[in-house]
Chains A and B, each alone.
Chain A
C-alpha cells in the first residue's frame, strides 16, 4: 500500500480552534469505542493498526507551532496499540513534546480510539475505527472473514486530506438569527481528575417507536429529554435563562465531501422554561422550528463562510500565533457562556453483515468542561454516552429514568468508582 506522502499541511479550517483551547481540563479529545464479543488479541490489533494507518495519512502527523499558524507535519512515529492505562479522553496534544495525535487502546473486549479533534472529526475517525475493526477481525478470523471485499471507504488520498471548508465557501451575508445573551448553566462540584462517563445502551427500535409516538426525529426527542433533565436540576434563579444545547451538524450530509478531516459546524437550539409550559409537545414543537431553520441551505452556507471569513482576513493572517491563541481562547470562552450543554448524534455505524456476529456495540464520547451527550447506533443497539466534568450524575439519572418510564430498557456502564 503506498500513498503520496505529504510533508506538512495547514490545519483545516474548523480545526484551528482546537490547539489553543485544548487544556488538561478539556483536551478536545474524543473516544470511539467498539466492543466485541470476545477479548482483544493485542498482536492482531497492532497488525491491523499498522495496516490501517497506511490508509489515513492525516493521522500519522504531529502538530507544530509556526510563526502565524499551527500546522501538521508528517512523522515516522508508529502508533502502538496498548492496554488502557489513563482516564478516558486524556490529553493527547502537548505543546512541548511532539507525539501522535491519536491513541489506540484496548481493555477486555473493547478497542478504544482516542483522537485529538484537530486532526479529524467524528465522521473521519469513525472511518478509521471501522477499517481498524474490519482488518482486526479479518486477522483473527481468517477462515470466516478472509474473503470479504474491502470496506466502502472510497475517498482517494487527496480527498481524505481535503479541507472542504475552503471548497464550499462563498461570499454570502449572514442570515438573521435570534441572539442568546446568556444561557442557563449547570452547577455542582467538579471532579478533580478525569471525566465522569456514563454510557447507556438501549434498543434502537424502542427509541424509534417512542419518537414516532412523539411525532419527531430521534435527535429532537433526545434533545428534548435532556432539556427536561437539565431543567429538573436548575436552581430557581437559573430558570429565567434559556437552556441552550449545542448540536454539531455534519456538513458532509449537505455538501459533497469525503474528507477525513474536520467538516462540521455547530448549531444552537434553545428553550426557555420560564416563558413556555415545558411539556414534551411544546419543546418538540419549538425544536422542530429551530432545527428546520438551522438546517436550511442559507444557514448552512453561512456556517461554512463564518469560519473562512476569519481565516482569510489579511490582518488576522499576519498576526503572530500567540496573539491569535489569546483571541481565539477569548472568543471560545464567550461562545461557551452561551451554551448549557451539547448533544451530538453521530448517527448509524455500518459494518459488513458478516462482522455482526462478532460485534456487540459501538459508543462515542468527548472531553468536556460541562456536560455533553453523544449517541451512536449499530444494528439494534444505540449508545447514549454522557461525559461530564461534574461529580454528580443527577441529569443522567433524570434522563435515563425518563427513558425507562417510556418502557425503553437501559443498561449503563460507567467509569465512576464506588464510594
Chain B
C-alpha cells in the first residue's frame, strides 16, 4: 500500500499524491474501491442555448421594428406571446422528457390553456373551444393508447392519464350545454368518444380503476 509520510497514513489506489495533503506518496500501489469514471456532459444543452439566444434576438428585433413603425399597432406583442408559448411547451417537454405519456397529457393541458388565452386576447372568435380543444383531446387519447403499447406503461398510470383526458371531455360537455360552443360537431364527437372510453375502462378495468383511485387519493 502507498504511504504518505506527512500524514502518516496508508493510501489505497494508484494515485501519485496524498488525497489529504497532496504530498507525494511512496510505496507499492494496492487496488482501491472506486472505479475511474468518465466525466459525463450533456451536448444538447448547447443547442438549447443557441435556440434561446436566437429567440431573444428575434424578440428584440421585433420590438425595435415595432417602435420604428408605430402606426401598425402593437404587433410585436404577438411575437413575444408566440415565443413565450413556444418556450413553455418546449420547457415542459424537456422537463418531463423521460416519461412520454405524462409529457403528452401535460402538453395537451398547456396547449389547450394557451389556445384559449390566445383566442381571448385576439377578440374571442371561439376557434379554441370549437376546434382545438376537441381535436387535441381526441388525438391524445388515440396516441396514449398507442404509446402505452410501445413503451410498456403500467396499466395504473394509463388509467390516470386517460381519466385526466376524459375530464377535458366533461369540460367540453359543459361548454356545449351552456351554449359557448358555436360549432358543435367536433365537441360532440369528442364527448362521445371520451364517454365510450370511460365506460370501456370502468367495464373492463373497474376494479383496477377503483384501486388506483384509492391509492392516489389516500389521506
In the complex, whether B26 has a CB less than 8 A from a CB of chain A is no
Q: Contacts A97-B98, A400-B20 given: A107-B217 contact, CB under 8 Å?
A: no
In the complex, whether B8 has a CB less than 8 A from a CB of chain A is yes
Query: How many A-B residue pairs lie within 8 Å, measured between CB atoms?
Result: 104
In the complex, whether B31 has a CB less than 8 A from a CB of chain A is yes
B10 touches which of A67, A108, A410 (Cβ 8 Å): A410
How far apart are A45's CB and chain B's nearest CB, in angstroms?
16
* CB–CB B99/A97 < 8 A: yes
In the complex, whether B15 has a CB less than 8 A from a CB of chain A is yes
How far apart are A29's CB and chain B's nearest CB, in angstroms?
16
List the A side residues contacting B216 at CB < 8 Å: 64, 66-67
List the B side residues contacting A94 at CB < 8 Å: 98
Q: Chain B interface: which size bin?
A: 35 or more
In the complex, whether B142 has a CB less than 8 A from a CB of chain A is no
Contact with B along A171-212 (1 / 0, CB 8 A): 000000000000000000000010001111000000000000
* CB–CB A199/B33 < 8 A: yes
* CB–CB A397/B34 < 8 A: no
List the A side residues contacting B215 at CB < 8 Å: 8, 64, 66, 71, 73
A199 to B34 CA separation, bound complex (whole angstroms): 11
In the complex, whether A10 has a CB less than 8 A from a CB of chain B is yes
B9 touches which of A10, A197, A411, A417 (Cβ 8 Å): A411
Stretch from A80-88, A275-283, A300-308 that touches the partner: A80-88
A414 to B1 CA separation, bound complex (whole angstroms): 14
In the complex, whether A323 has a CB less than 8 A from a CB of chain B is no
Q: Contacts A193-B39, A413-B34 given: A401-B8 contact, CB under 8 Å?
A: yes
A sample of 17 more A-B contacts (CB under 8 A), given A64-B215, A412-B9, A419-B22, is A7-B211, A8-B215, A66-B218, A69-B219, A71-B215, A84-B35, A88-B34, A98-B154, A401-B9, A404-B7, A409-B10, A410-B9, A412-B19, A413-B11, A416-B19, A418-B15, A418-B17
In the complex, whether A110 has a CB less than 8 A from a CB of chain B is yes
In the complex, whether B125 has a CB less than 8 A from a CB of chain A is no
A396 to B20 CA separation, bound complex (whole angstroms): 7
A197 touches which of B13, B34, B96 (Cβ 8 Å): B34
* CB–CB A413/B9 < 8 A: no
- Give A residues with C-beta under 8 Å from B: 7-8, 10, 33, 35, 64, 66-69, 71, 73, 83-88, 94, 96-98, 107-110, 193, 197-200, 317-318, 393, 396-397, 400-401, 404, 409-419
A107 to B32 CA separation, bound complex (whole angstroms): 10
Q: Contacts A69-B218, A411-B11, A413-B12 given: A419-B33 contact, CB under 8 Å?
A: no
In the complex, whether B36 has a CB less than 8 A from a CB of chain A is yes
How far apart are A51's CB and chain B's nearest CB, in angstroms?
25
A400 touches which of B9, B97, B218 (Cβ 8 Å): B9
16 A–B pairs (Cβ distance < 8 Å), ordered by A: A35-B33, A64-B215, A67-B216, A68-B217, A96-B98, A200-B9, A318-B219, A396-B20, A401-B9, A404-B7, A404-B9, A411-B10, A412-B10, A413-B33, A413-B34, A414-B32
A35 to B99 CA separation, bound complex (whole angstroms): 37
Query: Which of B15, B156, B218 has the largest number of chain A CB atoms within 10 A?
Result: B218
List the A side residues contacting B32 at CB < 8 Å: 413-414
